[in-house]
Amino acid sequence: MAMFQPEIETMDREQIREIQLEKLKWQVKRMYENVKMYRERMDDAGVKPEDIQSLDDLSKLPFTTKQDLRDYYPFDLLAVPKRDIVRIQASSGTTGRQIVSGYTRADLDQWANGFARQLVAAGGDNRSIVQVSYGYGLFTGGLGAHQGAEKVGAMVIPTSSGNTERQIRFMCDLGTTHLCCTPSYAMYIGETVREMGVKNQLKLKAGIFGAEPWTEEMRHEIEESLGIKAHDVYGLTEIMGPGVSYECEVQQGMHICEDMIIPEIIDPDTGEVLPEGSFGELVLSTVTKEGQPLMRYRTRDLCVLDYSPCPCGRTHVRMKKPAGRTDDMLIIRGVNVFPSQIEEVLLKNSIEVSPNYQILVDRVNNTDTFDINVELSPKFKGDVDAEKRKLESQLHSSLGIKAKVHLLRPKSIVRSEGKAVRVIDNRKLH
């Protein structure tokens, strides 16, 4: 299979480590010299740039958190003069105050390489027609996919998100081969394609979907409804948008662009670096980023790193699909619940229910209430009460606590054109 930068993507591990160390030294030195926060933190920890002599020395450096980006908002973490910044992107701000990230021209070029690697791994080339249905603007999805696809030389259709029927008409008329959007929007598009009865007019080959967690079951739904191969892509505003890691044709995890980023897995409670193969919080250090480099950034995403050789020939480490975030874990009646566990149960029953659901948590008389609204599948013909009891019992055995399931008519839950809002936790209001 084709690669965008084969000489980098298949570099041997020894070489990757050499490059990482060289770039890490360069980066730590310039961050120490140019960013007050890092200089103070390193002084407090008694570490000097010269103390970084091996990759293991990375663990001597302090972590950076999302709170730091808020505290030093907007420009105090820049490692270059403001005039060198050519683009600002910002996080969607769903989990707190907005944060921004500044990119130099070289940073944008690197980021484009990350997404270009993804597009080529998904079978894209300069004959591809790439429809970017991620939102354009401060969110990194739209512009990130756009610049990566342009770098490959594809024809880019910048539809942004929304106006679903027009999106589909464009796909049919222009012969879109690659669709880029969130997995929940891909599901919505798939559903609308079915309703419009135009699946046979599509020329789609593959989709590049990310920005939110999604399960294998959801992947199958999307692949089925659009007749494509669906690839998972990961990224975050703070590091760079889509393309931090990308899925090859083997689809057993996403290759992290290790020539730009050093990943670690830590115990989220103690901060201790965990041994290879452990499940924990992903921490990323940007060793090439000029504008707003981050050292040991705590992503809050929970996953496992897989260093075993990938049959595709790429040597960069693979991260398994994030199983959730340390901050999206719900504690309901004292039990830890990840929305992804609920989705898994629901989607296993895809003949009976659709993947459109919402989790509602509240507190009544000092007790947590836990309700799940899910739409019945249009194909469902069985007994609604029996179905509800079956789902409740499966959820109970998977989660360890009881939830009330409400089966709704098809199309009663609002569809998402970007990241889906799956959880409504009203306990905070009390």
* CA–CA separation, 285 and 154 (whole Å): 30
Identify the three-state secondary structure at position 188: helix
Based on the shown chain and the rule CB under 6 A, indicate whether residue 115 belongs to the binding site for ligand DLL: no
Q: Which amino acid is at 3?
A: M
Q: Which distant-in-sequence residues (6+ apart) come within 8 Å of 42 by Cβ?
A: 32, 48, 49, 61, 62
184 is an interface residue for ligand DLL by CB under 6 A:
no
Residue from 102, 242, 263, 339 touching ligand DLL (CB under 6 A): that is 242
Tell me the backbone φ, ψ of residue 124, rounded to 5 degrees: -80, 155
Of the pair 190, 242, the CB lying nearest ligand DLL is at: 242
Q: CB burial class (10 A; 0-12, 13-18, 19+) of residue 208? A: buried
Strands 404-408 and 367-376: parallel
Pick between residue 113 and residue 140 the one whose CB is nearest to ligand DLL. 140
What are residue 52's phi and psi, to 5 degrees?
A: -90, 95
**213 forms part of the interface with ligand DLL (CB under 6 A):** yes
Distance CA 113, CA 246 (A): 11
Q: Does 20 bind ligand DLL (CB under 6 A)?
A: no
Residues 302, 322 contacting (CB under 8 angstroms): yes
Q: Closest Cα to residue 225, out of 249, 250, 200? A: 200
114 touching ligand DLL, by CB under 6 A: no
Is 268 near ligand DLL (CB under 6 A)?
no
In the complex with ligand DLL, which residue's Cβ is closer, 179 or 405?
A: 179
Piece in contact with ligand DLL (CB under 6 A), picked from 154-162, 190-198, 210-218, 267-275: 210-218
Instruction: Write down the H helix ranges in 227-338.
Output: none
211 binds ligand DLL (CB under 6 A): yes
Nearest to 179 by CA among 221, 208, 210: 208
Judged by CB under 6 A, does residue 232 bind ligand DLL?
yes
- Does 186 help bind ligand DLL (rule: CB under 6 A)? no
Write the CA distances from 139 to 101, 156, 211, 384, integer angstroms.
11, 18, 10, 40
Q: Is residue 122 near ligand DLL by the rule CB under 6 A?
A: no
Residue 236 interacting with ligand DLL (CB under 6 A):
yes
Binding segment for ligand DLL (CB under 6 A), chosen from 187-195, 211-219, 352-360, 410-418, is 211-219
* Residue 182 contacts residue 175 (beta carbons within 8 Å): no
Q: Which amino acid is at 316?
A: H
256 binds ligand DLL (CB under 6 A): no
Q: Which residue in the set 119, 233, 302, 391 belongs to the binding site for ligand DLL (CB under 6 A)? A: 233
Considering the complex, state which of residue 11 and residue 211 has its C-beta at the smaller distance from ligand DLL.
Answer: 211
Residue 283 Cβ, how far from ligand DLL at the closest point, in Å?
12
CA dihedral 188, 192, 193, 196 (to 10 degrees): 180
The SS3 call for residue 38 is: helix
Smallest distance from the beta carbon of 127 to ligand DLL, in angstroms? 23
User: Which amino acid, one-letter code, is at 334?
Assistant: G
Instruction: Give the residue, chosen from 38, 188, 234, 357, that forms a contact with ligand DLL under the rule CB under 6 A.
Output: 234
Amino acid at 326: T
Binder of ligand DLL out of 5, 34, 65, 92 (CB under 6 A): 92
Backbone angles phi, psi at 294, to 5 degrees: -125, 135
Whichever of 140 and 184 has its CB closer to ligand DLL, that residue is 140
The reply on whether position 418 binds ligand DLL by CB under 6 A is no
Q: How far is the CB of 330 from ligand DLL (least distance, A)?
A: 15
CB of 99 to ligand DLL, least distance (A): 8
Under rule CB under 6 A, how many of the chain's residues touch ligand DLL? 22
Single residue of 135, 148, 190, 241 touching ligand DLL by CB under 6 A: 241
Q: Which of 102, 235, 268, 280 binds ligand DLL (CB under 6 A)?
A: 235
Count Cα atoms within 13 angstroms, Cβ side, for 57.
18
Comparing CB distances to ligand DLL, the nearer of 239 and 287 is 239
Site for ligand DLL in 131-160 (CB under 6 A): 134, 140-141, 144
Taking the chain, what is the end-to-end CA distance rounded to the nearest angstrom?
A: 55
Binding site for ligand DLL (CB under 6 A): 91-92, 134, 140-141, 144, 210-213, 232-237, 241-242, 299, 301, 322, 325
